[in-house]
Structure 1
Amino acid sequence: MRFTAAAKVFVLFGDPVEHSLSPAMQNAALQAAGIDGLYIPWRVKSADLPTAFESLRGMENFGGANVTLPHKEQAAVLVDTLTKEAASVGAVNTVVARGGRLLGANTDGQGFLRSLHEEADYLPRGKPAVILGAGGAARAVSVGLAEAGAEEIVIVNRTIERAQSLAEFVNRETGVSAVGLGLDDPRMPARVRNCALMVNTTSVGLSPSDPPSIDPSLLQPGMLVYDLIYRPLETALLREATKRGCQVMGGLGMLLYQGALAFELWTGQKPSEEAMRQALVAAIA
Structure 2
Amino acid sequence: MVSSVNIRGTTRLIGIIGDPIAQAKSPAAVNPLFAARGADIVSVPLHVPAKELAIIWAGLKAIPNLVGFGITLPHKQTAIDLCDSLDPVAARVGAVNFVRRERDGSFRGYQFDGKGFVRGLQSKGIAIKGRNALIVGAGGASVAIAFALVEAGANSITVSNRTFDKAEALAETVNADFGKRVAKAGNPEPEAGQLVVNATSLGLQDTDALPLDPDLLQPGMTLAEVIAQPETTRLLAMAAAKGVETHSGMHMITGQAGLTVDHICELWA
User: Under a length normalisation based on structure 2, what TM-score does the superposition of the two structures give?
Assistant: 0.90
Question: What is the match of residue 261 of structure 2?
Answer: 263
> Structure 1 residues 176 and 81 mapped into 2: Cα distance closer, same or farther (>3 Å)?
farther
> What is residue 105 of structure 1 aligned with on the other side?
110
SS in 1 for 2:10: coil
1:12 corresponds to 2:16 = yes
Letter in 2 for 1:210: D
- The Cα offsets for residues 99-125 of structure 1, whole Å up to 9 and x where unpaired, read as 111111112222211221220331x23
1:177 aligns with 2:182: yes
Partners of 2:97 and 2:111 within 8 A in 1: yes
The aligned residue for residue 230 of structure 1 is: 228
Match of 1:155 among 159, 163, 167: 159
Unaligned runs of 5+ in 1: 272-285
Query: What residue number does 1:132 align with?
Result: 136
**Distance in 1 separating the partners of 2:12 and 2:95:** 25
Shift in CA distance, 2/143, structure 1 to aligned 2, threshold 3 Å: same
CA distances 1:229-253 after superposition (whole Å, capped 9, x unpaired): 1222221111121122211110111
Gapped regions of structure 2 (runs ≥ 5) = none
For residues 39-82 of structure 1, give each alpha carbon's deviation from its aligned partner in whole angstroms, at most 9, with x where no partner exists. Answer: 22112222322222222332211211100111111222211111
1:149-200, CA deviations, whole angstroms, 9 ceiling, x for partnerless residues? 222211111222222221221122223422224xxx5xx53xx224510001
**1:141 corresponds to:** 145
Q: How far apart in 2 are the matches of 1:179 and 1:261?
A: 29
State whether residues 50 and 75 of structure 2, in contact with CA within 8 Å, keep that contact through their aligned partners in structure 1. yes
For residues 43 and 130 of structure 2, what CA distance do their matches in structure 1 show?
40
What corresponds to 1:278 in structure 2?
none
- The alignment of Structure 1 onto Structure 2 pairs a total of residues equal to 263
Distance 1:42 1:14, change over 3 A: same
The one-character-per-residue Cα deviations of 1:231-284 (angstroms, maximum 9, x if unpaired) are: 222211111211222111101111011111111101228x9xxxxxxxxxxxxx
- Partner of 2:142, secondary structure, is helix
- Alignment RMSD: 2.1
Whether 1:118 and 2:123 are equivalent positions in the alignment is yes
1:38 aligns with 2:42: yes
- Give the residue type in structure 1 aligned to 2:155: E
Q: Which amino acid aligns with 1:261?
A: L
In 2, the alpha carbon distance for the partners of 1:176 and 1:164 equals 12
- Normalising by structure 1, report the TM-score: 0.85
**CA deviation profile, 1:200-243 (whole Å, cap 9, x unmatched):** 11111111333432101111221111011122222111112112
Aligned equivalents of 1:93 and 1:267: distance in 2?
A: 17
Task: Tell me the CA shift for residue 11 of structure 1.
Answer: 0.9
| 1:203 aligns with one of 190, 201, 204 | 201
**Aligned residue identity for 1:113:** V
- Name the aligned partner's letter for residue 224 of structure 1: T
